[in-house]
Each structure stands twice: as structure tokens, then as C-alpha cells.
């Protein structure tokens, strides 16, 4: 039953629009990624706080810093290999 439902679904125009918009934004601006982050196991009682992180500017800055550190670490590691 679920399989028939999935197969019968047509691609929604919104999905096509979002895909086209993303390709355009990637071509015109800085590359970006979209992450789906699930609430960690054991923190379900903090769901409202977790959901507020999506619009928390300080959290976004902390994630950017983490990404910078990760990319620098990978760059340094790659330079040591070659």
C-alpha cells in the first residue's frame, strides 16, 4: 500500500522550485549546505529549546565556528598527507 502511494506521487512544483532556487543561489553566491539535525536521544524533554536553535543567531555562529575548525583541520591533515 505504501509502495503504491510513493510510486503514484508526482513531483510537486514546490520541490522543483526549491531545487531550481538552490541551484541558482549556489551559482550566484557562496556555496551552502542544509543539514537536518534530529534532537539527540535523551533530550526529548528539551524539545522546545531544541526547536528554538533554528532561529538562534548565537547558535548559528557557533556552528559556523565549528565548520571553520573542521575545514582547517581537514586542510591541515590533507597537507600533511601530500
Convert the pLDDT of each residue in 34-76 to its tens digit: 899 999 999 999 999 999 999 999 999 999 999 999 999 999 9
Residue 2 binned pLDDT confidence (cut-offs 50, 70, 90): low
Contact 43, 50 (CB under 8 A): yes
Between 13 and 74, where is the model more confident?
74
Q: How far apart are CA 13 and CA 63, in angstroms?
A: 32
Phi/psi of residue 64, each to 5°? -60, -45
- Shortest CA distance to 25 belongs to which of 33, 14, 35? 33
Q: How far apart are CA 82 and CA 78, in angstroms?
A: 7
pLDDT of amino acid 51: 97
Contact 12, 20 (CB under 8 A): no
Structural domains in the chain (count): 1
Residue 29 binned pLDDT confidence (cut-offs 50, 70, 90): confident
Q: pTM surpassing 0.85?
A: no
Structural domain boundaries enclosing 17: 2-81
Amino acid at each position: 500500500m505504501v509502495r503504491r502511494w510513493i510510486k503514484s506521487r508526482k513531483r510537486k512544483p514546490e520541490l522543483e522550485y526549491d531545487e531550481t532556487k538552490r541551484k541558482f543561489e549556489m551559482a550566484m553566491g557562496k556555496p551552502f549546505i542544509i543539514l537536518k539535525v534530529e534532537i539527540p536521544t535523551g533530550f526529548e524533554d528539551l524539545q522546545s529549546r531544541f526547536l528554538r536553535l533554528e532561529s538562534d543567531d548565537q547558535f548559528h555562529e557557533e556552528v559556523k565556528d565549528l565548520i571553520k575548525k573542521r575545514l582547517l583541520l581537514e586542510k591541515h591533515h590533507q597537507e600533511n598527507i601530500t
